[in-house]
A and B are shown apart, each in its own frame.
Chain A
Amino acid sequence: MTTATPTVAAGTQKTGGRGTSAAGRVRKRLNSRTATIVSIVIALVWTIPTFGLFISSVRPENEIKGSGWWTFFTNPSFTLENYQEVLFGRSSSSGQLASYFINSLAITIPSVLFPLAFASLAAYALAWINFRGRDWMYIAIFALQIVPLQMALVPLLKFFSTGVSIGGVTVMPAWDLVDEQKFAQVWFAHTCFALPFAVFLLHNFISQLPGELMESARVDGATHPKIFRSIVLPLITPALAAFGIFQFLWVWNDLLVALIFAGGGDETAPLTVRLAEMAGTRGNEWQRLTAGAFVSIVVPMIVFLSLQRFFVRGLLAGSVKG
């Protein structure tokens, strides 16, 4: 398995590239200066749109609307008013993003924890407990990854709003949730949709743990729950982190599931729903849109940058080996 991360790769390069062998010279010629310059230019071009958004978000309203953000460097004027307005402003047009920010948090935290716990339990059972039909069950869960979540939306919403009845007998009453209780629907939906991939990813890791470890623990009389808690869980922390980051980014950035199961009000809707709405109805209020977009970007960006190592490892394990 290839788990090279950008940082690791850069580290090995330093020791490998010093040689003055023939290979080293060829390598040098390959990485000519032009290639380096081109790659840096591309990286900068890639960053410019985000950078422009950020610069604009700290410019006063009339300047954003009157001149391009690149004039900031010749004519700098700085303000935090956009952020204040978009986060805490009282008028309904201002954004009130602080409220939606809390919604995003309230949606995301349980939506990460539930699938993480359930999937690691399931992945352990599928990897290390012998029972009939185990392989088929794993294949079935694995195959569910390809079902687009669009296939589940309409009936699942109906399940929440009217419950289930078979032949007139109510099997499951309607959830009848109001306001902030609707968070539960979103948690439920996100957990269901995340499980196939979560089980697949964690199974990849758990099934590769050394079998002797489990065997000797069994001989010592440890039960499955004990092995799971005291041996498996500590060993798969990197995998848990990888999936946790995945799921965090996915839920925090999701629009579709939130739109359908959380509704659009400030009691439950997350940042993405609010921003999409602002982009639609107030598409030219750039002072709010730029600041608002940046508010929604900043949390995943921090998570991503600080935990990139785990994320890349999970990405590679999840895709290359699949």
Chain B
Amino acid sequence: MEFDFAAEQPKFLMLMYGLIAFVAVVGGLLLLLDVVPAWFARRREAQLVAASASGAPLPRRRKPREGMFALFFLLPTLLLLTIGLVAPAIRTTMLSFMDANSNDWIGLRNYGWMFSEDSIVRVLINTLVWVLLVPLVATSFGLLYAVMVDKARFESVAKSLIFLPMAISFVGASIIWKFVYAYRGDGQEQIGLLNQIVVSLGGEPKQWLLDSPLNTLLLIVIMVWIQAGFAMVVLSAAIKAIPADIVEAARLDGVTPWQMFWQITMPSIRPALIVVVVTLSIATLKVFDIVRTTTNGNYETSVIANEMYNQAFRYGQNGQGSALAVFLFILVIPIVIYQIRNIRQQREG
């Protein structure tokens, strides 16, 4: 083994600095919160003693200053959110109305470019396909599986196996599936599972990731593979939370499993269903890693997040990249409003 540990030392040193900074900041904050009030309390005590000794009227007792505490507790979070999220988001919105080098204002031209350039329109359509298919397929599959496996003998194992891909990075999952889609020329032995299945059924092996629009669907399969477990776990918990007496009553009335599903299960888990669909839609809108790792956005597979990265960080088109980011944000808003309205209805109903 020729691994050079000495070369790695600076990293550990840096990690140690990071940990020291952590202890210093958090410890310092807590200490400050302890020491300062204690100091105020002592000073006040001294004032009281002095006042009572001189016979002067006692100083008016002020309300404890809760606000000060809150400020210190919230300080790091507010500071970081302002620097790292709020200010940059405002700046990005501004940049989206400026040219590539962020020098001149060019109005809505970046947005015009987005909808007139053929390749970008393609990107928008792809994103739409992703957002429609992933939540739909992953949620239906998760729901079906949750119902099917509910109270079955292997429930916990079966669920863990479906859930496991959530621990795998999008990059890792992409490599796993790229291997499934791998292609060897006609006549050679196939090493990809999909082509092997096609060949053994008598078909021709294909370069799956090169053909649009099939390749986008194959990438969507990866996302569904990862996210179905999330849908399944949340929906399964919702199903288990349905009051037992409702289920019993329905059974005594002699409903069929089909009726049971549509008239008891579905209405009861509707809130959880909405949460799952909304969460998956937002996650899918931002999908980046899968497309970048499998095709790098080539062969007409690119999506908004990938194109945003390319424009802003590879082609140096800050304006166009920012416009895509803002558009992504705009797409999220209606989904969130829908969810908020649902939560409100739930509370009232």
- Which A residues have a C-beta under 8 Å from some C-beta of B? 2-4, 6-7, 9-10, 13, 16-17, 22-23, 26-27, 30-31, 35-36, 38-40, 42-44, 46-50, 52-53, 56, 64-70, 84, 87-88, 90, 98-99, 102-103, 105-106, 109-110, 113-114, 117-119, 121-122, 124-126, 129-132, 134, 137, 141, 144, 146-156, 159, 179-181, 183-184, 187-189, 191-193, 195-196, 199, 223-226, 228-229, 249, 252-256, 259-260, 267, 272, 275-276, 279-280, 283, 286, 289-290, 292-293, 296-297, 300-301, 303-305, 308, 312, 315-316, 319-320, 322
Query: Complex Cα distance A126/B71, Å?
Result: 10
- Contact B85 A224, beta carbon cutoff 8 Å: no
Given that A129-B66, A156-B84 are known contacts, is A110 also in contact with B189, CB under 8 Å in the complex?
no
Which residues of the other chain, A, contact B325 by a CB distance below 8 angstroms? 148, 150-151, 153-154
Query: Complex Cα distance A181/B21, Å?
Result: 13
Mask for B12-36, Cβ within 8 A of A = 1, else 0? 1111001101100010011001100
B84's nearest neighbour on chain A, judged by CB, is A192
**Per a CB cutoff under 8 Å, which of B37, B182, B189, B275 touches A320?**
B275
Asked if B120 is at the interface of the complex by the 8 Å CB criterion, the answer is no
Given that A279-B178, A319-B276 are known contacts, is A152 also in contact with B84, CB under 8 Å in the complex?
yes
Given that A39-B148, A286-B182, A316-B234 are known contacts, is A4 also in contact with B240, CB under 8 Å in the complex?
yes
Given that A84-B1, A90-B2, A253-B169 are known contacts, is A27 also in contact with B151, CB under 8 Å in the complex?
yes
Asked if B191 is at the interface of the complex by the 8 Å CB criterion, the answer is yes
- Contact A129 B155, beta carbon cutoff 8 Å: no
- Contact A180 B193, beta carbon cutoff 8 Å: no
6 A-B pairs in the complex with CB atoms less than 8 angstroms apart: A4-B241, A42-B158, A103-B11, A106-B12, A150-B328, A315-B234
- Contact B175 A289, beta carbon cutoff 8 Å: yes
Which residues of the other chain, A, contact B308 by a CB distance below 8 angstroms? 150
- Contact A30 B257, beta carbon cutoff 8 Å: yes
Given that A49-B179, A129-B69, A296-B172 are known contacts, is A303 also in contact with B85, CB under 8 Å in the complex?
no
A-B contact count (CB 8 A): 384
Q: A154-B325, A276-B292 are in contact. List 16 more A-B contacts (CB 8 A).
A: A40-B154, A40-B158, A50-B176, A68-B193, A88-B1, A129-B69, A150-B325, A151-B328, A155-B88, A180-B14, A192-B81, A223-B37, A224-B73, A276-B174, A286-B179, A320-B234
- Contact A151 B92, beta carbon cutoff 8 Å: yes
Asked if B305 is at the interface of the complex by the 8 Å CB criterion, the answer is yes
Residue among A129, A155, A228 with the most chain B CB within 10 A?
A: A155
- Contact B234 A148, beta carbon cutoff 8 Å: no
- Contact B91 A53, beta carbon cutoff 8 Å: no
Which residues of the other chain, B, contact A147 by a CB distance below 8 angstroms? 85, 89, 329
A44's nearest neighbour on chain B, judged by CB, is B161
**Per a CB cutoff under 8 Å, which of B3, B33, B321 touches A224?**
B33
Residue among B11, B158, B271 with the most chain A CB within 10 A?
A: B11
Which residues of the other chain, B, contact A322 by a CB distance below 8 angstroms? 275, 339, 343
A258 to chain B, nearest CB (A): 10
B332 to chain A, nearest CB (A): 5
Which residues of the other chain, B, contact A305 by a CB distance below 8 angstroms? 160, 164, 167
A56 to chain B, nearest CB (A): 7
Residue among B15, B309, B339 with the most chain A CB within 10 A?
A: B15
Query: Complex Cα distance A272/B318, Å?
Result: 25
Asked if B285 is at the interface of the complex by the 8 Å CB criterion, the answer is yes
Asked if B165 is at the interface of the complex by the 8 Å CB criterion, the answer is yes
B239 to chain A, nearest CB (A): 9
A136 to chain B, nearest CB (A): 13
Query: Complex Cα distance A289/B177, Å?
Result: 12
A140 to chain B, nearest CB (A): 9
A121's nearest neighbour on chain B, judged by CB, is B73
- Contact B2 A36, beta carbon cutoff 8 Å: no
Query: Complex Cα distance A77/B22, Å?
Result: 48
- Contact A260 B313, beta carbon cutoff 8 Å: yes
Asked if B126 is at the interface of the complex by the 8 Å CB criterion, the answer is no
A198's nearest neighbour on chain B, judged by CB, is B77
Asked if B140 is at the interface of the complex by the 8 Å CB criterion, the answer is no
Query: Complex Cα distance A78/B2, Å?
Result: 23
- Contact A39 B152, beta carbon cutoff 8 Å: yes
Query: Complex Cα distance A130/B73, Å?
Result: 12
Which residues of the other chain, A, contact B167 by a CB distance below 8 angstroms? 249, 297, 300-301, 303-305
